[in-house]
């Protein structure tokens, strides 16, 4: 490219940038300017107004897991506008995810998933804006999304488990490990070598999997008797934790509810590392499995928690882990500073519990405002309950009479209806800012136009900047968003790129052309609005064809589509992106390859022919 062209392009991009069109490139807008702009945008809206006017941008990036849609969504907060869907475990024809060779390599034939928990990578207890991690409860995988492209770059299979559910990254000093829990107990290994265990549920186990976040490979698994539901890590890099609701090893509902107490489990990372060093593990399906069962090692601490607890969340000051009771109307507050003493046997595990405030019927998840308050979602009552952690601890100390007054409860907000997860802005970090809270309600019933028996869900936005909770917005959500995180814009935005690094893809095409080797044909093609680098390609029936396309348009947002008529091939390439697809030319005739993404006044003319001869 000549200097002259480069110069002109810069100018053009700067003009776009000034007009607010090319926002999102760290190259063009320095971080300071972004922060100032965030503040200006929210000031213009007035104090805690959720209105985001045309031309203004949201203060937060919300990352939503998509549940059984298998995807992750990007939602602007506080506008609650859906900005993007990131295909993860699902096929997405709009982008070509699951159709191109690149995505097929990651998905390996499995196009359904169930994303529950999406979390960001951390540095020193707050998000570093590099990655998101998300679980697949269905096919037992963990995917990593790189934030610069908002695209999945790695998927790791988790063997030996089922119901891969709770997931949480290490928060301190940075995310080297990500932990993921198995909610369903199964025989380990779960194959013909262990068939005698199939009908003996007492020989079913759960596994706490530790994943190397950089390599996206498995470090080890810790075997326990219990099932494991949600996951959390502390703010010191010492422990991961989980709740278990099936300590009974039941296989029916009534068996899982038999006991009045289940556990919060704490995993001692120092001792896990020691076991790995000393070789205290067995290999099962290629993975190092450490025995963490009761009486077999001192790696796991079991704190009794009343009846089938669900969520586990750590307060932003790092002091407390809060287990939400589900079947019990309480939340259990565990003092994390006491965990070491319990591991050393100096106090009993139950002595780590400092409060058990009564919250309501069916507490599921708890989030925080960074001002000492907790917010718990209560499923059966359909409420969000704001309560003060310190007041709950004081009431516990003073005894039953004081507890009954429930002075720790600050406000109760009715929501519509049946809330699952609840999340406040930046609440999973030490920078929790107590501005917005989203209540992810499973039922919407009559809140939106009736669109048939299967209805949208209802994500409600709540202002938590004052003493009382103030409901400000309802948004229908396509099923089934499960959990979310709300991340300050200045952490994410400077990392987001407007174009791909062209040569990151080893097959990037710089010159269009066709190469034949017997029946194997490689078509290399560029795209530049409004033309492809080739006008026609001649093929023979039965040819094995690989089509590689690189988009040479670098203007922000100038993407092209590549769709091959009647060949079931459809994908999109962003600026400087390369994608490829391999197929057999099994249909004879003339087939138009056309652009699906409106890119130019002559977008409709952007097409070429594949001529497949008999």
Alpha-carbon distances, residue 203 vs 238, 242, 262 (angstroms)? 30, 21, 18
210 interacts with ligand RUQ by CB under 6 A: no
Q: Residue 262 or 483: which CB sits closer to ligand RUQ?
A: 483
534 interacts with ligand CUA by CB under 6 A: no
Taking CB within 5 to 8 Å according to partner kind, which of ligand RUQ, ligand CUA, Ca ion, none is near residue 529?
A: ligand CUA
Full DSSP string of 436-485: EEEEEES--GGGS----SS--EEEEEEE-SSSS-EEEEEEEE-S----EE
Q: Rounded distance, CA 8 to CA 12, Å?
A: 6
Q: What is the CA radius of gyration of the chain?
A: 26
Contacts 24+ apart (CB under 8 A), 134-138: 134/65, 134/72, 134/88, 134/167, 135/164, 135/165, 135/166, 135/167, 135/180, 136/70, 136/88, 136/89, 136/164, 137/113, 137/163, 137/164, 137/165, 137/183, 138/68, 138/70, 138/89, 138/112, 138/113, 138/114
Touching ligand CUA, residues 493-532 (CB under 6 A)? 529-530
Taking CB within 5 to 8 Å according to partner kind, which of ligand CUA, ligand RUQ, Ca ion, none is near residue 211?
A: none
Min CB(39)–ligand RUQ separation in Å: 33
Q: Rounded distance, CA 345 to CA 229, Å?
A: 26
**What backbone torsions phi and psi does residue 282 show, to the nearest 5 degrees?**
-115, 160
Q: Rounded distance, CA 260 to CA 26, Å?
A: 54
Q: Residue 413 or 606: which CB sits closer to ligand CUA?
A: 606
Q: Which of 482, 488, 524, 579 lies at the binding interface for ligand RUQ (CB under 6 A)?
A: 482
548 interacts with ligand CUA by CB under 6 A: no
Min CB(598)–ligand CUA separation in Å: 6
Taking CB within 5 to 8 Å according to partner kind, which of Ca ion, ligand CUA, ligand RUQ, none is near residue 420?
A: ligand RUQ
3-state SS, 274-330, equals HHHHHCCCEEECCEEEEECCCCCCCCEEEEEEECCCCCEEECCCCCEEEEECCCCCE
Number of residues that bind Ca ion (CB under 5 A): 3
Min CB(116)–ligand RUQ separation in Å: 4
Binding letters toward Ca ion, positions 243-262, x by CB under 5 A: --x----------------x
Min CB(350)–Ca ion separation in Å: 17
- C-alpha closest to that of 587 among 567, 604, 573: 567
Query: Could you tell me which stretch among 56-64, 75-83, 143-151, 593-601 binds ligand CUA (CB under 6 A)?
Result: 593-601
268 interacts with ligand RUQ by CB under 6 A: no
314 interacts with ligand CUA by CB under 6 A: no
308 interacts with Ca ion by CB under 5 A: yes
Touching Ca ion, residues 26-65 (CB under 5 A)? none
598 interacts with ligand CUA by CB under 6 A: yes
Taking CB within 5 to 8 Å according to partner kind, which of Ca ion, ligand CUA, ligand RUQ, none is near residue 339?
A: none
Binding letters toward ligand RUQ, positions 563-602, x by CB under 6 A: ----------------------------------------
Taking CB within 5 to 8 Å according to partner kind, which of ligand CUA, Ca ion, ligand RUQ, none is near residue 488?
A: none
Q: Which of 560, 571, 576, 577 lies at the binding interface for ligand CUA (CB under 6 A)?
A: 560
Give the list of residues 6+ apart from residue 79 with CB closer than 8 angstroms, or none.
50, 51, 52, 58
Taking CB within 5 to 8 Å according to partner kind, which of Ca ion, ligand RUQ, ligand CUA, none is near residue 308?
A: Ca ion
606 interacts with ligand CUA by CB under 6 A: yes
Give kind and range of the element (H or E) at residue 152: strand 151-157
Q: Residue 365 or 579: which CB sits closer to ligand RUQ?
A: 365
Min CB(175)–ligand RUQ separation in Å: 20
Q: Residue 260 or 605: which CB sits closer to Ca ion?
A: 260
Taking CB within 5 to 8 Å according to partner kind, which of ligand CUA, Ca ion, ligand RUQ, none is near residue 262?
A: Ca ion
Work out whether strand 520-528 and strand 544-551 pair parallel, antiparallel, or are unpaired. Answer: parallel
12 interacts with ligand CUA by CB under 6 A: no
Min CB(67)–ligand RUQ separation in Å: 8
116 interacts with ligand RUQ by CB under 6 A: yes
- C-alpha closest to that of 67 among 350, 379, 459, 397: 459
Taking CB within 5 to 8 Å according to partner kind, which of ligand CUA, ligand RUQ, Ca ion, none is near residue 310?
A: ligand RUQ
Contacts 24+ apart (CB under 8 A), 338-346: 339/238, 339/239, 339/266, 339/301, 342/301, 342/303, 343/266, 343/268, 343/298, 343/301
Q: Rounded distance, CA 97 to CA 29, Å?
A: 30
Q: Rounded distance, CA 224 to CA 207, Å?
A: 6
C-alpha torsion sign, points 56, 58, 63, 68: negative
Q: Rounded distance, CA 285 to CA 275, Å?
A: 19
310 interacts with ligand RUQ by CB under 6 A: yes
Q: Specify the 3-state DSSP secondary structure of 51.
A: coil
413 interacts with ligand RUQ by CB under 6 A: no
Q: Which of 429, 597, 610, 612 lies at the binding interface for ligand CUA (CB under 6 A)?
A: 597
364 interacts with ligand RUQ by CB under 6 A: yes
Check residue 525 and report its DSSP letter.
E
603 interacts with ligand CUA by CB under 6 A: yes
Token duo for residue 612: 């497949």
Q: Residue 83 or 602: which CB sits closer to ligand CUA?
A: 602
Q: Which spans of this chain sit near ligand CUA (rule: CB under 6 A)?
A: 529-530, 560, 595, 597-600, 603, 606
Binding site for Ca ion (CB under 5 A): 245, 262, 308
């Amino acid at each position: 490219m000549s200097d002259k062209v480069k110069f002109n392009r810069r100018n053009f991009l700067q003009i776009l940038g000034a007009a607010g069109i090319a926002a999102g490139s760290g190259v063009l807008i320095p971080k300071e300017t972004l922060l100032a702009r965030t503040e200006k945008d929210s000031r213009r809206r007035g104090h805690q107004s959720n209105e985001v006017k045309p031309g203004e941008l949201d203060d937060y990036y919300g990352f939503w897991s998509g549940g059984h849609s298998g995807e992750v969504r990007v939602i602007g907060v506080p506008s609650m506008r859906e900005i993007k869907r990131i295909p993860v475990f699902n096929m997405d024809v709009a982008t070509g995810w699951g159709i191109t060779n690149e995505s097929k390599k990651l998905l390996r034939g499995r196009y359904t998933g169930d994303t529950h928990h999406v979390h960001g990578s951390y540095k020193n207890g707050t998000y570093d804006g590099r990655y998101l991690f998300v679980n697949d409860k269905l096919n037992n995988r963990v995917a990593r999304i790189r934030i610069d492209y908002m695209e999945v770059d790695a998927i790791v299979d988790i063997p030996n488990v089922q119901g891969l559910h709770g997931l949480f990254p290490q928060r301190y000093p940075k995310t080297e490990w990500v932990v993921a829990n198995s909610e369903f107990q199964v025989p380990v290994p779960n194959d013909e070598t262990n068939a005698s265990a199939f009908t003996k549920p007492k020989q079913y186990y759960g596994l706490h999997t530790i994943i190397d976040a950089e390599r996206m490979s498995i470090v080890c698994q810790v075997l326990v008797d219990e099932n494991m539901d949600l996951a959390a890590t502390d703010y010191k890099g010492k422990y991961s934790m989980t709740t278990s609701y099936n300590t009974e090893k039941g296989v029916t509902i009534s068996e899982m509810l038999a006991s009045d107490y289940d556990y919060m489990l704490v995993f001692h990372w120092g001792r896990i590392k020691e076991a790995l060093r000393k070789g205290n593990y067995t290999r099962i399906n290629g993975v190092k499995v450490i025995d963490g069962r009761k009486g077999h090692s001192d790696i796991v601490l079991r704190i009794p928690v009343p009846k089938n607890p669900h969520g586990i969340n750590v307060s932003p000051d790092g002091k407390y882990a809060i287990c939400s009771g589900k079947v019990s109307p309480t939340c259990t507050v565990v003092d994390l500073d006491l965990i070491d003493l319990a591991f050393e046997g100096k106090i009993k595990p139950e002595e780590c519990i400092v409060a058990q405030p009564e919250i309501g019927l069916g507490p599921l998840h708890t989030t925080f405002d960074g001002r000492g308050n907790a917010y718990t979602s209560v499923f059966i009552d359909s409420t969000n309950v704001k309560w003060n952690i310190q007041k709950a601890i004081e009431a516990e100390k003073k005894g039953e009479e004081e507890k009954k007054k429930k002075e720790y409860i600050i406000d109760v907000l009715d929501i519509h209806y049946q809330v699952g997860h609840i999340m406040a802005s930046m609440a999973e970090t030490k920078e929790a800012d107590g501005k917005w809270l989203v209540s992810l309600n499973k039922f919407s019933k009559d809140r939106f136009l009736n669109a048939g028996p299967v209805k949208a869900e209802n994500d409600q936005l709540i202002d938590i900047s004052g003493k009382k909770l103030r409901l400000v917005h309802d948004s229908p959500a396509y099923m089934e968003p499960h959990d979310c995180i709300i991340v300050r814009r200045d952490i994410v935005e400077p990392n987001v790129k407007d174009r791909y690094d062209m040569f990151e893809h080893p097959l990037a095409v710089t010159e269009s052309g066709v190469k034949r080797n017997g029946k194997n044909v490689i078509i290399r093609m560029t795209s530049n609005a409004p033309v492809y680098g080739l006008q026609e390609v001649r093929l023979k029936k039965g040819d094995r064809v690989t089509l590689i396309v690189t988009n040479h348009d670098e203007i922000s947002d100038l993407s092209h589509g590549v769709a091959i008529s009647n060949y079931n091939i459809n994908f999109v390439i962003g600026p400087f992106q390369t994608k490829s697809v391999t197929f057999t030319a099994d249909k004879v005739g003339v087939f138009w390859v056309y652009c699906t993404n409106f890119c130019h006044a002559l977008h409709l003319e952007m097409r070429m022919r594949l001529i497949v001869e008999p």
